[in-house]
Amino acid sequence: MTNASLDEAVAAGWTRRRGAAVSLVQQFALIPVIVVLCVVGAFVSDSFLTLTNFTNIGQQVSALGVVVVAETLILVTGSMDLSLQSNYGLSAMVAAWLVAPAAQFGLGTELNPLLGLVAGIVVGGLIGAFNGTLIVKAKINGFILTLAMYILLAGVQTGIVSGHTIYHLPKAFIALGAFYFADIPVSVWVAALVFVVAGLYMRYTRTGRALYAIGGNREAARAAGITVDRIRIGVFVVGGALAALGGLMEAGRVVAVTANQGTNLIFTVFAAAVIGGVSLNGGRGNMLGAATGVVLLGLVQNILALAQVQSYWIDAVDGAVILVALALSRVVGGERSTE
């Protein structure tokens, strides 16, 4: 064997081993962080390592998790949607508005609660279809368009109830967020199901893989016969519907829809996705990573609450922890700046 071919063989073997090792490390990069957080949590409070507490955490992050799934699908195709946060608030508000009596700031239609839930999800999907069509067909910059929609939808959410909160929602309407099944909140079951289905879809179907191809090299995807435009719009529709589902879960958990439901959610959504290894440039990321990102942020918030950190300081600490998590995931090879 000549030197050259020996070098090549060594290099190839190295790449192979390194490739496999890196992807494994990336998949489970956050596991040690989560373990450390659990240890810290156990020291902070005796009530941390209890089933009740973990159930609480699960219930608190499940709505966030569903929105993270939505944003991950969109990010992987190389787009982004800032308006998911307002969609999350507005769709739940519209659903509640259709269901609640006029005296409770509802529209007065007093729709069947189950139909109300369906209506909420349909509204979410329609908003997604609107965003997707304008971004893909009219080629409007996605950041600016969804930023405008973020403001517009939040305004509508406040407007239709004149800034009031809708309480007294029917039982069937709040089942998604407030009920339990086998001692675990329904919302946790739903979020887990959404994660698993989305994860399997992205890994084991042609259209799921097409999301990665579109985000990684749009021209190549088109040349391979992938219907790029249709799939990109589709992802916005599914993302919108999922954001609405998340909003309805949250409405069930707090048994009300406030005029500002969803405020600031999108920052946490992006943080969870990026900490979980989803690339803002598209083409990279998976549901397992996104789920660990969500769990990590949920643990942090829970520990801060249990540690009775002064409420004035919670946001600062929360931000610092996100920063550390980002740095950590960068070190083990997650999102890097495009240089």
Partner 1 sequence: MDPSYVIEGVGLSRSFGRTRALSDVSLAIEPGECLGLVGRNGAGKSTVVSILSGLRRPDTGVVRLGGEPAPPVGDPAAWRRRVACVYQHSMLVPTLTVAENMFLNRQPRRRGGVLRWGAMRTEAARVLRDWGVDVPVTAPAGAISVEQRQIVEIARALSTGTRCLILDEPTAALERAGVRRLFSRLRPLLDQGVGILYISHHLEEVYEICDRVTVLRDGRHVVTAPVADIRQDELVTAMVGPEDPLAGTATTIEATPTADPDAEPVLSVHDLRATDARGTVAGVSLAVRPGECVGLLGLAGSGTTTLADAVAGLVRPTGGTLVVSGLPLPPGRPDVALRRGVGYVPEDRHDRGYVAQLGVGDNITMTVADRLTAYGVLSPRRQRGAARALAARFGVVSAGTGQAVGELSGGNQQKVVVGRALARDPEVVVAVAPTQGVDVASKRSLLGALDAARAGGAGVLLVSDDLADLALANRIVVLVRGRMFAEFTEPPWDREALIAASEGLGGPDEDGTDEERAQQ
The footprint of partner 1 (CB under 8 A) covers: 8-9, 12, 15-16, 19-20, 203-206, 209-210, 212-213, 215-217, 219-226, 279, 283-284
Q: How far is the CB of 326 from partner 1 (least distance, A)?
A: 20
Q: Report CA torsion sign: 326, 250, 262, 86.
A: positive
Judged by CB, which is closer to partner 1: 5, or 308?
5
**Distance from C-alpha of 46 to C-alpha of 52, rounded to nearest angstrom:** 12
Residue 29 backbone dihedrals phi, psi, to 5 degrees:
-60, -35
The nearest distance, CB 197 to partner 1, in angstroms, is 13
Query: Tokens standing for 296?
Result: 């990590």
Instruction: Match 């088109």 to its residue by tokens.
Output: 222
Dihedral sign from CA coordinates of 89, 92, 93, 94 = positive
Least distance in angstroms from the C-beta of 22 to partner 1: 10
CB of 132 to partner 1, least distance (A): 20
Query: What Å distances lie between residue 334 and 26, 124, 276, CA to CA?
Result: 7, 30, 8
Q: Which is nearer to partner 1, 225 or 311 (CB)?
A: 225
Query: Least distance (Å) from partner 1 to the CB of residue 209?
Result: 7
DSSP for 26-87, written as a single string: HHHTHHHHHHHHHHHHHHH-TTTTSHHHHHHHHHHHHHHHHHHHHHHHHHHTT---TTHHHH
Q: How far is the CB of 229 from partner 1 (least distance, A)?
A: 12
What is each CA distance from 86 to 70, 90, 245, in whole angstroms? 13, 6, 13
Nearer to partner 1 by C-beta: 172 or 280? 280
| Nearer Cβ to partner 1 (183/219) | 219
Contacts (Cβ under 8 Å, ≥6 apart) of 28? none
Nearest distance, CB of residue 220 and partner 1, angstroms? 4
Residues 110, 114, 120, 124, Cα dihedral to 10°: -160
The least distance separating partner 1 from the CB of residue 292, rounded to whole angstroms, comes to 20
Query: Nearer Cβ to partner 1, position 317 or 330?
Result: 330
Quick one: 211 or 296, whose CB is closer to partner 1? 211
Helix (H, G, I), strand (E, B) or coil at 141: coil
Please tell me the number of Cα atoms within 13 Å of 220 on its side-chain side: 9
* Nearest CB to partner 1, comparing residues 21 and 151: 21
Shortest spacing between CB 16 and partner 1, in angstroms: 4
- CA nearest neighbour of 136 among 210, 69, 227: 227
DSSP 104: G
